[in-house]
Structure 1
């Protein structure tokens, strides 16, 4: 084992920045329909606008191509996902999916239980951003006892 005396950067937040042509529609969809809380909004010269929405805890999920193919098969009947998609944990996937479709999302796949014990749906939101909604059906400790799962 090597020791590194350098100080590692302290990451405090993961922020996903999405350029949207229809700014009002995107803000309405993610803030008003999905329910993300507006943290800040700024306006600048030349009609420059940004809204920062609080999405709770952030994680970065790194998956190899085999994992993506497996998830696509389970979650979306094999329909290939985008290179990047955004996933939101919700309390009720079925209701949230209906709300997002009513709010303008295109449904890719209805909510379905996955082998990793979550209820997942897949949609396309404003500007073509793929969205996965997931509802955890068991806690991480229980899930980590299943074959193939690890939890530090």
Structure 2
């Protein structure tokens, strides 16, 4: 099976520090970013059809335990019906 895209999705406690690490220190390029009621987010290119997506805590969340899950992995294929 070949994947069209592989996405690592991280819920992070400190959004600004995480963006600084992945974007500024590792040099990953932003694809898009947003500020929503559920919290901020950014998608960063990791090369070869891979992305890292960071989701910050919603406003008012004071502790990482308030995040529902820490890590998610998204696998995208060209034709889901053919694969599944």
User: Could you state the TM-score of these two structures normalised by the residue count of structure 1?
Assistant: 0.31
Which has more radius of gyration?
A: 1
Instruction: Measure, in 2, the Cα distance between the counterparts of 1:129 and 1:123.
Output: 9
- Larger RCO (CA within 8 A; separation ≥ 6): 2
Deviation at 1:128, TM superposition (A): 3.5
Give 5+ residue unaligned stretches, structure 2: 68-84
User: Could you state the TM-score of these two structures normalised by the residue count of structure 2?
Assistant: 0.51
In the comparison of the two structures, how many residue pairs are matched? 57
Aligned-residue RMSD, C-alpha: 2.4
**Which portions of structure 1, spanning 4 or more consecutive aligned residues, are displaced by more than 4 angstroms?**
none
Conservation of the 8 A alpha-carbon contact between 2:6 and 2:49: no
Instruction: Measure, in 1, the Cα distance between the counterparts of 2:36 and 2:31.
Output: 16
Q: Going by fraction, where is helix more abundant, 1 or 2?
A: 1
* Corresponding residue to 1:129 among 38, 50, 59: 50
Give 5+ residue unaligned stretches, structure 1: 1-81, 141-152
